[in-house]
Structure formats: C-alpha cells, structure tokens
Amino acid sequence: MRRALIIVLDGAGAGEAPDSALYGDAGADTLGHVARAAGGLDIPNLERLGFGNIDEFPGVSRKSSPPASYGKMKEISAGKDTITGHWEMMGIVNEKPFPTYPEGFPSELIKKFEARIGTKTLGNKPASGTEIIEELGKEHLRTGYPIVYTSADSVFQIAAHERAIDIEDLYKMCKIARELLTPPHQVNRVIARPFTGSKGDFRRIGEKRKDFALPPPESTVIDALAERGIKVYSVGKVSEMFAMRGFTETVKYKGNMDGMEKTKALIKEKKEDSLFFVNLSDFDTLWGHRNDALGFAKALSEFDSALGEILPLLDKNDYLFITADHGCDPLHPGTDHTRELVPALFYNQGLKGKGLGLREGFMDLGKTVAEIFGVGYERGKSFLWAL
C-alpha cells in the first residue's frame, strides 16, 4: 500500500517570482510578510520538518538535518489563480491566461443569461463576496434576482440567499452560465455562493458552495492514477477544479480545521493505494483577500497544530506534500492574488530530507506523485529520484 497526501495552503506564497512585476506584484511575499507582521510564526511541527529551510521566516529556525525535503516551485503557466495552480501541479501548463472582467461582464452576455434563467440579475461587477451580499442582499431578497459578480480571478459568481432561491435552482443557474461562457468569455470557474442571515448579518454558506470549472484540456496525473485503479480523494474544492474527473470521492468541510479533521479521518480509514488531495481555502478567502496578516498567521498556527495530529498517522508508505497554489499577500496593495513562488515541503519516513532547490514548474509535484505509484506521466521532473 502506498498513499500520497497533498495539502495546498491556498494563497500561501513564498516570495516574488521572477515575473511578478509583469502581474503588478513586485515585492509580494505572503509568508514572509505574514511572519514579520505577527512578530514570528508559531509553527513548531512545520519547523521540525524543515519549513525554516525554505526561506527566512521570523520565528522559524533553520534545521541542519531536517526530516523533510524543502524548496520552492515556480509557476510557468500564465495567471495566478487557483485552477491554473492546481492544474499545473497535475501536469497542465496554461499558456494563455483565462479572461477576467474588471468592468463586469458584457451586457449581451448578461442578457443571454437572464433570458435563460427567466429573471433579471443584480450586481455584475467585481466585488468582495462578503461586501456584495451586504450591499445587495436586501434588494435580492425583495426581488428574488440573483447577484452576479466577479473578482480579479477568472470567475462568474452567483450569490443567492437560501430563502430566495433554492440551492438546487442556484446550481442550475450556474450550469446555465457554464454553458454560455464559451470563447472569448471562457472563464475558468462558475461559482455558486449561497448565503443566509439578514441585513447586517448576511453569512455565506461555505459547505454549500459549488464550483463549476472547465475540464482540463488534457490528461492529468489524476487521470493517470484513476486509469490504474488508484483511489483519489478530494478534501475541499479540489475535485471541482478538475470538473470531478478522476476523483473517487469528494469530502466537503466547514473551515480549515474541519478540513484537517476530515483529512485525518480519511487517512485512518483508507488503507489502500490512494491520493488525498486537500485544499485549505481559508488562508486565501478569510485572511489573504481581507488583508488580515495576523489572522493569516493565527490560521497557520492552527494548521500546524492539526498537522501535528496527522504526522503520527503516516508511515514509510505515506508521502506528504505541503505547498500552495499562488500567493495572496495581505500586506500587498489591493486584495487580489499575488504572483509568487510557492513553498515545497516533502516528507516520508524512509527518506532523508534534502534541498529541492527552485523547481521549474509546479508539475514536478505531480510527476513525483506519479513516480510514487509507478504510473507513467510525461510532464515534470520528479524529485523522488534525488532523495
């Protein structure tokens, strides 16, 4: 039995990339800025593994012989969004960025969408998800019109109060939008954003969020694993970013810590060749986008504590990867994702930790996973051989 566990700390970038300036992100350094703002990170389990060898993070010491291998990965795809990052990890290089809509979607597209769903819409502008439901939630409840908005990412988001629009009807609206969003408006994700509460206390229902993504244009490492009968489990939104293709089961969660609990339960239960692919999105949505560096640091400490409960469950047949999909620097101007390098930490009881250097592409992670399971996949350079 062999198992691999990938944990993506969504938005936890590790310093500016060589091309950061092209994205307006010169100087971005999510983890470094968070660590300095907090007066040091409290992450003893990550520290013991060798996280401090990745870079200089206040509060995190460097180890002379860490048990985990360490380094950074450079994204070679165009963009700095979640799908692009996850796709590249599994072997897909996106050479052209997905379209974004800083002025909102074209009126002809919205009119087609309204005609298909049989009602008008509200919004149609870039906005914070929490702010737009506070702004338009009351009007939405009065009219029953869904709220359409976007962000700096390539997303078409539809927010609806659970009392105004049934959740299944909201999902149907998202499927209609997905059908309409064809080139040149082929955004990478349509996202259902249900919420509840009342004016002044509207709250998004995270566990009922659903992403309707474009399917990967080519075969991924996940496809290769599935073809060989290897189970692939998604914790969080990962499977939705691959249009569910190749996944055995999707486990939803309520917040990062619940996600780690769900991950721990899977590790205890699934005693077979398996890949567990985990995305912890709170770092991005709750702390990065909201410019809350101290909240980000606290969330890292909480993750570290939960990681401490998972590490004893892993043996020499288990391989742990900890990384990120992009940056979301809470101290960088604006509230958008940031183009950054990402951390790479790789742990297995049977392997001695070594420096991985700077990996030229996230796909090296996927290639390593493929090698662990003895599955052929062309893209990327495995770092397993060097260990």
Domains along the sequence of the chain with CATH: 3-92+216-372 (3.40.720.10), 107-213 (3.30.70.1250)
pLDDT digits (tens, 9 = 90+) for 252-286: 999 999 999 999 999 999 999 999 999 999 999 99
State the helix-helix crossing angle for 107-117 and 167-180, rounded to 10 degrees. Answer: 140
Q: Above pLDDT 90, what percent of the chain?
A: 90
Q: Tell the burial category of 292 from Cβ atoms under 10 Å away from its Cβ (0-12, 13-18, 19+).
A: middle
pLDDT digits (tens, 9 = 90+) for 227-256: 999 999 999 999 999 999 999 999 999 999
The rounded distance, in Å, linking the Cα atoms of 257 and 37 is 23
pLDDT digits (tens, 9 = 90+) for 161-211: 999 999 999 999 999 999 999 999 999 999 999 999 988 899 999 888 898
Mean pLDDT of 112-140: 95
The rounded distance, in Å, linking the Cα atoms of 370 and 382 is 8
Q: How confident is the model at residue 129 (pLDDT cuts 50, 70, 90)?
A: confident
Cα torsion 124, 130, 135, 137: sign: positive
pLDDT of residue 8: 98
With tokens 């709250």, the residue in question is: 203
Strand partners, 213: 189
Q: How confident is the model at residue 96 (pLDDT cuts 50, 70, 90)?
A: confident
Q: Residue 43 pLDDT > 80, yes or no?
A: yes
Q: Residue 3 pLDDT > 80, yes or no?
A: yes
Q: How confident is the model at residue 212 (pLDDT cuts 50, 70, 90)?
A: very high
pLDDT of residue 170: 98
| Mean model confidence pLDDT for the chain | 95
